[in-house]
Amino acid sequence: MKCNDFERDIHLYSELTEEERVRVDSHIQECSACKELFQLAIATQTLLKKVYTKSELANHGRLTSTIMQAITAQQQQSTSWISNLFLKYTMVAGSLALIIAFGVEQLSPVGSVYKRMPETNTVTLNSASFMKAALDRKENPEAVNPSFYACVKSGDCNNPLIESLKKKSL
Amino acid sequence: MPEPITPELIQEAVRGSQPAFRAIVEANQGFVYAVAFRFVNDSQEAEDITQEVFVRLWKNLKSYRHEVKLSTWLYKIVTNRCLDFLKSRHGRQRKNKVDISTTHFVQDSSTPEKEFQQQELSRIIHAAAEELTPKQKAVFILRDLEGLSQEEVSETLSMSTGNVKSNLFYARKKMTEKLKTWYQTTDKDFL
């Protein structure tokens, strides 16, 4: 094997298996150039460990507070997002319910319409037919129960309350 | 290495306990900051990254798998965040701007001349590290500086062990060559 073949193994010496290390060791015993490279690589590793010492955080407490504040803000943001989403879906559901109700009413039979005026072509005719309906109601009034006020006025109704009032007035 | 955290504490944090999460932050923020600083070489950026790492941890805590160590997960988050930073426009812009005041050297300088020499050496090493690709730098930091095993580096970076070795070789070679050149030009004895 040539020196170039050992270059990679020399730089990756710490990653080699025991067998591979023995092979590199025996080569650097014979080759001065590779021995120098090996020593350089080891020296570089030592030097790097000196330069890259662990950097200490200046203020632990301040960073902890900043992190916890960011997390609280994050939590609030997600909560408001959920409530916004709830509001959004509620409004969509409400709108859909209204649309469905409107559609159902439109599709339901005409009988459900309380009163429908006869179709006319002009405003005048329409007014006349409205009046006609009112006059018809006046001429043929439907049998309805008299109101409490009508009972008091006429004094004809058989109502226990009216009877007691009559007795008191006597 | 980060301080160990009990599984019960992690469980409490997963359930949404802020005091439990605070304890996790307090035990691990120093190590996360140190790793981030090694990547970005700037204390303010490192603090910002540390904050982002813990916010990301809080958001993803529910998907935490107990078979994975919390430290491994934190290494993964901080490394990914640092790689994103190095690849970003801002990260590329501040490349080669090594702030010597923020570099840390084991002080064994007996004379001002020696101290100056160490500062210069520190600057050369950091400048050389800035020339590495983000992946080479990540492998170099995790394997050589943080002392993670080859398998841990492979898991943290989601990279094959062959790829880890390859990146490590180029990183070590580049650093050795830079230092050799510097020692040759300054007529100083490297070995």
Quick check: A68 and B176 CB within 8 A? no
Query: In chain A, what is the greatest distance between 2 CA atoms, to the nearest angstrom?
Result: 143
CATH code of the domain in which B43 resides:
1.10.1740.10
My answer on whether B17 and B88 are in the same domain is yes
- Who has greater pLDDT, B9 or A120? B9
**By C-alpha distance, which of B135, B48, B128 is closest to B90?**
B48
**What is the count of residue pairs from A and B with beta carbons less than 8 Å apart?**
111
Chain A positions in Cβ-Cβ contact with residue B21 (cut-off 8 Å): 68, 71
**Which one of A5, A34, A51 makes the best mutation probe of the B interface by having the most chain B beta carbons within 10 Å?**
A51
pLDDT at B84: 92
pLDDT at A48: 86
pLDDT at B104: 52
pLDDT at A97: 93
Cα–Cα distance, A119 to A69 (Å, whole number): 71
Whether the Cβ atoms of residue B124 and residue A47 lie closer than 8 Å to each other: no
My answer on whether B56 and B132 are in the same domain is no
Among A15, A44, A68, select the one facing B18 at the smallest CB separation: A68
Maximum average pLDDT range among A135-144, B113-122, B138-147: B138-147
Q: How confident is the model at residue B142 (pLDDT cuts 50, 70, 90)?
A: very high
Domain limit, last residue, from B43, B76, B95: B95
**pLDDT greater than 90 at residue B159:** yes
When pLDDT is averaged across residues B90-112 and rounded to a whole number, the result is 57
- Who has greater pLDDT, A82 or B8? B8
Domain limit, last residue, from B95, B125, B160: B95
My answer on whether B87 and B117 are in the same domain is no
Sign of the CA dihedral A110, A113, A114, A119? Answer: negative
pLDDT at B188: 65
pLDDT at A20: 92
My answer on whether B61 and B121 are in the same domain is no
My answer on whether B90 and B105 are in the same domain is no
Give A77→chain B minimum CA distance, Å.
12
Give B48→chain A minimum CA distance, Å.
9
Give A48→chain B minimum CA distance, Å.
8
Whether the Cβ atoms of residue B180 and residue A40 lie closer than 8 Å to each other: yes
Instruction: Report the share of chain B in percent with pLDDT over 90.
Output: 47
pLDDT at A57: 82
My answer on whether B58 and B114 are in the same domain is no
My answer on whether B47 and B126 are in the same domain is no
Instruction: Report the share of chain B in percent with pLDDT over 70.
Output: 84
My answer on whether B48 and B28 are in the same domain is yes
My answer on whether B88 and B126 are in the same domain is no
Low-confidence ranges of chain A (pLDDT < 50): 111-112
pLDDT at A114: 55
pLDDT at B108: 55
Q: SS3 for B68?
A: coil
Give every CB contact of residue B76 below 8 A, 6+ residues apart in sequence. Answer: B155, B156
Nearest-Cα residue of chain B relative to residue A35: B191
My answer on whether B81 and B106 are in the same domain is no
- Who has greater pLDDT, B23 or B108? B23
Cα–Cα distance, B153 to B158 (Å, whole number): 8
Q: SS3 for B174?
A: helix
Other residues' Cβ atoms within 10 Å of the Cβ of residue B70: 21
**pLDDT greater than 90 at residue B24:** yes
Chain B positions in Cβ-Cβ contact with residue A11 (cut-off 8 Å): 168-169, 172-173, 176
Among A15, A41, A64, select the one facing B29 at the smallest CB separation: A64
My answer on whether B77 and B109 are in the same domain is no
Chain A positions in Cβ-Cβ contact with residue B190 (cut-off 8 Å): 40, 43
CATH code of the domain in which B109 resides:
1.10.10.10
Mean pLDDT in chain B?
Answer: 84
pLDDT at A136: 81
pLDDT at A146: 65
My answer on whether B85 and B114 are in the same domain is no
Work out how many domains chain B is built from and give that number.
2
Q: Quote the domain boundaries for residue B183.
A: 101-191
Domain limit, last residue, from B68, B95, B122: B95
Cα–Cα distance, A105 to A103 (Å, whole number): 5
- Who has greater pLDDT, A3 or B82? B82
Predicted TM-score of the model (pTM)? 0.68
